Amino acid sequence: MSMEEHSDSFDFELVSPERRLLSHKAMMVVIPGEEGDFAVLPDHTALLSSIRPGLLRVFRENKEESFDVFLSGGFADVTATSCSILAETAIRISDMDKTQLEKDLTDLNEDLRLAESELEGVRVKRQIALVQAKIETIKQVEESA
């Protein structure tokens, strides 16, 4: 790509199994990759990455303001001109209630204590890890505000 063809943005798409959640131009996207967070900019090297539960930050025209989303997991497909994310679930941070999540965590810990089988305990531990990731993501956004 010549210098004249260089773009300040790329096509970004966020899709869940239910629907397309976002589809627009982005200047930068920060993704919670399985091996750590990584940023995608225009002309990025192609890659495919699994996503761990955490904060997805999408920066449009103004790199100062981001659209923040919690991802429970999924995959990111990055090329020089696009970034597509297939998310297991995606929830806008502004739609999450930290107080309710903390109550849910207390209830889940009680469920774990009362679990009658190993399988039930494993299921509850997975739910606990997901709620903890949501709470940590909210804290991360609050600290960066």
Measure the N-to-C terminal CA separation of the chain; round to a whole number of Å: 36
Query: Could you tell me the CATH number of the domain that includes residue 36?
Result: 2.60.15.10
pLDDT at position 61: 74
Q: Would you say 15 and 33 are in contact if contact means Cβ atoms under 8 Å apart?
A: no
Instruction: Identify the domain containing residue 113 by its residue range.
Output: 96-144
Q: Which residues of the chain have pLDDT under 70?
A: 1-6, 62-64
**Global confidence as pTM:** 0.87
> What DSSP state is assigned to residue 35?
T
73-91 per-position pLDDT tens digit: 999 999 999 999 999 999 9
Question: 67: which 2 tokens?
Answer: 């659209």
Mean pLDDT computed over every residue of the chain = 91
Percent of the chain with pLDDT over 90: 83
Same structural domain, 65 and 128: no
